């Protein structure tokens, strides 16, 4: 069997990881083994936080809608209930944008329900 020399391939693989970890502190950006561990962990965090970001935004939207609804004399749950009864299919993102940037439209939306 012929001899396989992997020096170049291994160096490229290691340098790729070290390049990704530029900006990490201490040995996490200079030593391959710790850099590789940090890289794998950072990818886990990135995957987890992409899911978490969606939750956080929904919380923000609900908080904004609740604050705007309370100014109009309703609670969040009462508002959503009324919108469902009237078959108004508007998502929370758009509803929070309306509440934030156009209070007149939001109040007419509430009083029409």
**Domain boundary assignment for the chain:** 8-112
CATH number among 3.20.20.20, 1.10.1900.20, 3.40.640.10, 3.30.499.10, domain 8-112: 1.10.1900.20
Terminal-residue alpha carbon distance, the chain: 80
For the whole model, what pTM was predicted?
Answer: 0.77
Instruction: Using the predicted structure, report yes or no on whether residue 112 has a pLDDT greater than 80.
Output: no
Assess contact for 34 and 27: CB atoms under 8 A.
yes
**pLDDT tens digits along 68-104:** 999 999 999 999 999 999 998 999 999 999 999 999 9
Higher pLDDT, 84 or 5: 84
Instruction: Provide the residue count of the chain.
Output: 113
Residue 113 banded pLDDT, cuts 50, 70, 90: low
């Amino acid at each position: 069997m012929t001899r396989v020399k992997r020096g170049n391939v291994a160096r490229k693989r290691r340098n790729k990881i070290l390049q990704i970890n530029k900006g990490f502190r201490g040995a996490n950006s200079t030593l391959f083994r710790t850099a590789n561990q940090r890289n794998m962990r950072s990818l886990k965090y990135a995957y987890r936080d992409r899911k978490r970001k969606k939750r956080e935004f929904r919380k923000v939207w609900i908080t904004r809608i609740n604050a705007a609804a309370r100014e109009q004399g309703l609670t969040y749950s009462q508002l959503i209930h009324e919108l469902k009864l009237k078959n108004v299919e508007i998502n929370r993102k758009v509803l929070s944008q309306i509440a934030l940037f156009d209070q007149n439209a939001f109040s007419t939306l509430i009083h029409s329900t």
